[in-house]
A = this chain, B = another copy of it.
Amino acid sequence: MTDKVISVGLMGLGTVGRGVYRILKDNSAGIEQKVGARVEIKKILVREPAKNRGIDLREDMLTANVGDIVENPEIDLVVEVMGGINPAFEYSMMALKKGKSLVTANKDMIALHGKELFEAADENNADVLFEASVAGGIPIIRPLKECLAANRIRQVIGIINGTTNYMLTRMTKESLDFEQVLKEAQALGYAEADPSADVEGYDAARKLAILSSIAFNTRVPLNKVFVEGITGITAEDIIYANELNYVIKLLGIAKETDEGIEVRVHPALLPKHHPLASVNDVYNAIFIRGDAVGDVMFYGRGAGEMPTASAVVADVMNAARNLLRNVPGIISCTCFEEKPVKPMGSTSTKYYVRLNVADKPGVLAGIALIFGNNEVSLSSVIQRHTSGHSAEIVLVTHEVLERNFQEALKSIRKLSAVYEITSVIRTEGD
C-alpha cells in the first residue's frame, strides 16, 4: 500500500522483546495503515545469536554486536527492552547520539537517567518514548502528557506493583499471612526468588518518580521518594482494616502542596468506596486528580509480555509517525519547573496504630495523653482483651503531622504498660 518503511532495531529479546516482535508481525497490516509506513524489525541485539528461540526469525536478524544497531544507518528507531541500567543506558545513549528515536520499557533507566536521555534526544532531533515503563499496558504517560495537559495535577495515587497487589488481595480474601502468600506468588511466577524490589516498594518507587515528574512538571529524583514496603502487614491488620471499612493497598502517592511535592510509597488503609479499593489481583490502576478534570482513573494489567509490548509498539508507532513527518520530539521532556520535595516529617496523614498493652486501668488514658501532648487527635479506638494480662488497642488518628506522630510514638514506646507497637500504617483517600 505504501513503499515507506520505518526500520527498527530491537535491543533485547526477553519476554517483552518477544511480545514486541509478535505484535509487529501479527498486526502488521493495521499498524501500516495507522502509521502510513511499514514498520519492520531489521536487527535484534541478543547475547547469544546462535541460541534456538523457537520463533521464526531470519538468520541475519540476530546480532551480538550493538554497533549493528546503533551505527546502522538503515535503522531509524531503537527499541530498548533489555532492562537494567548497564548496558541498556549506554546503548540507548549511543542510539540517541546517532539521531535514532528511542522507545523503552525500562523504568530503572528512565527514573535514574531520564534527564541525560532527554537532553541527548533534544540535541539529536529524536524522540524518547517510555509508555511501557509505568503500569505496563495501561495508557498513562501519554494521557498525562497530552490528554490531561490542560490541568494542574493535584495528586496521583497508584497501585503500580502487581506482585504486591496480588499478595495483599490474597491476604485479604483468604486471611493468609505475608509469608504464605509470598511463597504462593513465587510458585506462580508473580514474585521473584529475591522479592525485595517488589515487597520493599522499590519497584513502585521508580514508577512513582516517573509519574510524579510528569504530573508536576519537575524532575523528581528517585532518592527523594519515601519508601516503605508491605513486609510488616499481617492478616490481623487486614481484618481490623475491614472492620473499620478500609482495605490495605501498597500505594504510590504524589501530591502537590504549597510547601512542595509529596512523593511516597507505603502500604495504606484505603476506604472501601475509593475507586482504587476494588483494584485486585495483579491489576494496576492510577487515580489522578486534576483541577479541571476532577478525578480520573486508568486501570489494567501492569505487567506481562503482551500488555507491556502493547505499550511499546504504540510508542513505536508514534515515533514512526513523527519520523515520517520529521517532527521527532514534538512532545519532549515536560520537566520545565523546579519544585522542592517536601520532607517526610512535614507531610500529614491519618494513622492506624495497633498496640499490645497491659490489660489494666489507665493504659489507654496514658497513650491518649501522649498523643494529645503531641497534637495527635484520635478519631476511633477499638480495645479488646486478648489473652492472659494483655489487651489489644487499635487507634485511628485524625490527620496529623508525621513528625508529631513519630515523636508521640517514641514516648508511647517507653511506657511500661505498652508491650509492643504491633503495626503502624498510614491511611489515604478519606
Residues of A at the B interface (CB closer than 8 Å) are 19, 23, 26-27, 30-31, 33-34, 131, 137-139, 142-143, 146-152, 217, 275, 278, 290-301, 304, 306-307, 309-314, 316-318, 321-322, 325, 327, 330-331, 334, 336-337
Contacts and interface: CB of A to CB of B under 8 A. Distances in A.
Contact of A150 (B33, B299, B314): B314
Nearest to A20: B150
A147 B142 contact: yes
Given A27-B151, A298-B298, A290 B310 contact: yes
A150 B297 contact: no
A317 B142 CA distance: 14
Given A298-B298, A314-B146, A19 B139 contact: no
A152 B26 CA distance: 10
Contacts of A149: 31, 34, 313-314, 317
B306 A294 contact: yes
Given A142-B142, A152-B27, A307 B292 contact: yes
A334 B34 contact: yes
A150 B313 contact: yes
A418 B310 CA distance: 52
Nearest to A300: B296
A311 to B, nearest CB: 7
Given A19-B292, A143-B143, A150-B316, 13 more contacts: A23-B292, A30-B217, A137-B293, A139-B139, A142-B147, A146-B317, A148-B314, A149-B317, A150-B309, A293-B311, A294-B307, A296-B298, A321-B331
A139 B296 CA distance: 9
Most buried by B among A301, A304, A314: A314
Contacts of A321: 330-331
Given A151-B27, A310-B148, A33 B292 contact: no
Contacts of A34: 149, 334
A151 B146 CA distance: 20
29 contacts: A23-B292, A27-B291, A27-B292, A30-B217, A33-B334, A33-B336, A33-B337, A139-B139, A139-B148, A139-B296, A142-B142, A142-B146, A143-B147, A147-B314, A149-B317, A150-B309, A150-B312, A275-B278, A292-B306, A293-B310, A293-B311, A294-B307, A296-B299, A298-B298, A298-B299, A321-B330, A321-B331, A327-B327, A327-B330
Contacts of A295: 300-301
Given A139-B139, A150-B317, A306-B292, A275 B297 contact: no
Contacts of A314: 146-150
A331 B337 CA distance: 29
A147 B327 contact: no
